[in-house]
Structures are given as C-alpha cells and as structure tokens.
C-alpha cells in the first residue's frame, strides 16, 4: 500500500474515532495535528466540537509529541476549577508510550485519557530535506504514492519516502500505542516487550573514546542552548530544570563546549528508562542538531540491562525507580 493511501486511511480513522468520542461524550476535547501554515510543519490543534474533526490530519509532518501538553497540564485542557477535562489524544506509537510513562509517574490519570491510536508510518526528516534543497524556498510538500514531492516557485524535487524519514522512525518498533482497551480506541496493541538488535548503537560503540568525543563535539557545535529540546520533550516536566538551579549552581549555561555537552549528557541521564524515542527533540531544534544516537543508546542500556522498554504499559516500574540484589556490576573495579 502506498504511503499516500495509508495516510488517507489513517486520517479517516482518526476523524471517525474523534467524532465518535466527542459525540458519545467520552471526551470533552480531542488534541491532534492540523495542517501547518508553512511547509514541513503541522500545528497541534484542540478540537472541541464534532463539526471540527475534519481539521485533524495525518501528513507525516507531525513532529510535536502531543503528550507534551499533558504534563504540566495545559490550561486549555482544564475546566474552570482546574481539574483535568476528559481528553482524547491522537496517538501515534511514541505519543502512546509517553502517555504511559506519564501515567506511571503519576503526572497523568489514565482515566481522563482516551488514546486514538493508529499505525504510524513515520515523519519526514525535515532537516535532511532542508539540507538537500539548500537556499531555495520550499513552498509545498506532498506525499504522492511512496515519494516525497517538494515544490518551490519553479522547481520540484522528489525523494524516496523510506529513505527520507527520521532515523528513529526507521527503526521504530512501537508504531501504534501500547495500551489497554479501556484507554485506547482505534489501532492499539498490548506489547510486553520489543525485539531490537540495536545495530546502530553497536556500530557507534566500535569507535574509540576519542572518535566518540569528536563525533559528539562536532554534532553539538551549533547548539545555542535554547532548551527547545527540553521544552518539546514530553517527559521533561520538572518545575525547575537542573541547569536553571542556582542554589547551588551545578553547571554553566554558556555556549562553551563543556556546558553544551554537559547539558545534553545530564538530560540524557535523566531520561534513562523514560525516553520514548519520539524524535521531537531533534525535530524542534532550531539549528537542526540530530542526536537520535543518544536516544537509541538510552533505549539500548535499559533493554540490555533490565529488559525494559519505556511506555509499553502504565503498570511496569521503570528501571530507575527500582533496584535489585541481582543487578549486574561488571563495570565495578575489582581486585585482580
């Protein structure tokens, strides 16, 4: 089935389910994606009335992880007394995972959430397309059959879809939300674990320490520490981020290499076992930094050591909230 056809079916499914949930008053609002006003983007939208469901779209340009609006809960999703409304979420796999993680961490009550699941077929890699198009203005972007057609004023270029989606989408194993039937309508699944070889991480690990440092240094060179990655992340919801603390000041906030690398290192550490590999951090970066290899490494660590994949269920305890006498300690210093 071509991507174009898949998208149309997904859209129909989303709109039907949204309409059903709203008309049966199972939800008060539905959050999803709508058509963007500039190419290579989409706007999240809150639908309050049945007649507006046709504004919901799925066009492979839906980068924001909508679970981001659940913690802290957006004022538009609360009633006049500040309690959560009943919310329907258009959930691709990673959005569903994020909702599960937030439920585990008691940031969200699953009784108020209904996921409108569908089988996600990926998002277009916007920074890669921008890079290849260069200094020409993109006026339109379409998915036709299995190709991405990018149009300008008097030019057109075609890209094969499978090659030009986000790297994380290429290796995604949880395309539709993993949730129970009570919290999900549409396409859902109940996964207990996934199987992943993490070949890309293994390949990165063959580099020497110097090569890894050089790679990370080069990738993070344009970083301006704007914190968009942190703001877009659905599981980064701390009231006071570690980097903003000033009693004491732990780490610097300048654009020196040390400060930049440390911010990303510690944010990655805080996401261990919680990151849902949605790629929103890379998609929202204003200078186009793509650190999906770190996301993959985080997933690999918890899978390898604790056989855990984040967000498959709201019941399992994440590895950083747990411990065991039998944990591996091969990294510890021992006598010869």
Partner 1 sequence: MTETIVEEKKVDEKWEPKIVAFLCNWCSYAGADLAGVSRIQYPPNIRIVRVPCSGRVNPYFIIKSLTDGWDGVLISGCHPGDCHYISGNLVARRRFAILHELLEFFGIEPGRVNFMWASAAEGERFATLVKKATNIVKKLGPNTKFKKEWC
Partner 2 sequence: MEEKILKKDEIGKLYSEFGSEYNFYAPVKKKGNIVFEKIENPDDIKLDYLNSRIPPKSILFPQSEVLFEYSLDEKDVEITDRQDLDEKYMILGIRPCDAYSYVLFANFFSSHGNWKDEIYLKKKENTTLIGIGCNTPRTTCFCTSVGGNPFNKENMDVFLRDLGETYLVEAISDKGKEIVKKLSWLSDANDKDVKKSQELAKQAEESIVTKMDVDKIVNTLETSFDHPVWDEISEVCIGCGSCSYLCPTCTCFDVIDETDQYEHKGRRIRIWDTCQSCLYTLETSGHNPRDTKIQRCRNRIMHKFSYYPTNYDLLGCVGCGRCIMVCPANNDLRDHLRKIEKIEKKEENVVV
What does the binding site for partner 2 look like in residue numbers (CB under 8 A)?
36-38, 41-46, 63-64, 68-69, 74-76, 127, 130-131, 135-137, 139, 221-222, 224-228, 231-232, 240, 244, 249, 252-256, 280, 283-284, 286-288
- Identify the bridge partners of residue 114 per DSSP, sorted by sequence position: 88
If we measure between CA atoms, which residue out of 335, 51, 21, 323 comes closest to residue 185?
Answer: 21
Pick 171 or 262: Cβ nearer partner 1? 262
Taking the least distance from each CB to partner 2, the nearer of 160 and 288 is: 288
Nearer CB in complex with partner 2: 36/318: 36
Smallest distance, partner 2 to C-beta of residue 155, A: 13
Helix residue ranges per DSSP H, the chain = 3-23, 93-104, 126-133, 167-170, 199-205, 209-219, 228-232, 257-270, 280-284, 292-306
Structure tokens at 250: 């732990």
Smallest distance, partner 2 to C-beta of residue 306, A: 31
209 binds, among partner 2, partner 1, none (CB under 5 to 8 A by kind): partner 1
Asked if residue 72 has a cis previous peptide bond (ω within 30° of 0), the answer is: yes
Give the nearer residue to partner 1 in terms of CB position, either 227 or 242.
242
215 binds, among partner 2, partner 1, none (CB under 5 to 8 A by kind): partner 1
* Separation CA 280–CA 292 (nearest Å): 10
Q: What separation in angstroms does the CA of 98 have from each of 70, 91, 279?
A: 10, 10, 12
Residues binding partner 1 (CB under 8 A): 204-205, 209-216, 242, 250-252, 256, 258-259, 261-262, 265-266, 268-269, 272-273, 294, 297-298, 301-302, 305, 319-320, 322-325, 327-329, 331-336
Cα end-to-end span (Å), the chain: 59
């Amino acid at each position: 089935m071509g991507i174009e056809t898949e998208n149309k079916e997904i859209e129909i499914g989303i709109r039907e389910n949204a309409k059903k949930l709203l008309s049966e008053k199972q939800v008060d609002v539905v959050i999803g994606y709508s058509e963007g006003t500039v190419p290579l983007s989409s706007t999240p939208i809150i639908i309050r009335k049945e007649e507006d469901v046709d504004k919901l779209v799925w066009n492979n340009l839906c980068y924001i992880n909508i679970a981001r609006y659940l913690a802290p809960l957006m004022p538009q999703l609360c009633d006049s007394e500040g309690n959560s409304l009943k919310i329907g979420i258009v959930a691709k796999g990673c959005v569903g995972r994020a909702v599960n993680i937030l439920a585990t961490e008691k940031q969200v009550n699953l009784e108020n959430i209904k996921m409108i699941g569908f089988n996600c077929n990926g998002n277009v890699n916007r920074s890669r397309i921008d890079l290849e198009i260069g200094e020409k203005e993109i006026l339109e972007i379409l998915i036709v059959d299995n190709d991405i057609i990018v149009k300008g004023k008097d030019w057109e270029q075609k890209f094969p879809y499978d090659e030009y989606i986000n790297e994380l989408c290429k290796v995604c194993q949880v395309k539709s939300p993993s949730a129970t039937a009570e919290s999900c309508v549409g396409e859902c699944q109940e996964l207990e674990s996934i199987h992943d070889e993490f070949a890309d991480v293994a390949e990165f690990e063959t580099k020497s320490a110097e090569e890894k440092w050089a790679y990370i240094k080069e990738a993070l060179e344009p970083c301006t520490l704007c914190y968009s990655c942190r703001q877009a992340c659905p599981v980064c919801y701390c009231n006071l981020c570690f980097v903003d603390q000033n009693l004491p000041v732990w780490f610097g906030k300048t654009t020196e290499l040390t400060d930049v690398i440390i911010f990303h290192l510690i944010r990655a550490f805080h996401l261990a076992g919680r990151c849902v590999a949605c790629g929103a951090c890379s998609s929202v970066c204003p200078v186009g930094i793509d650190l999906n290899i770190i996301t993959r490494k985080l997933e690999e660590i918890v899978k390898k050591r604790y056989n855990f994949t984040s967000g498959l269920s709201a019941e399992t305890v994440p590895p950083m909230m747990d411990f065991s006498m039998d944990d591996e300690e091969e990294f510890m210093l021992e006598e010869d």
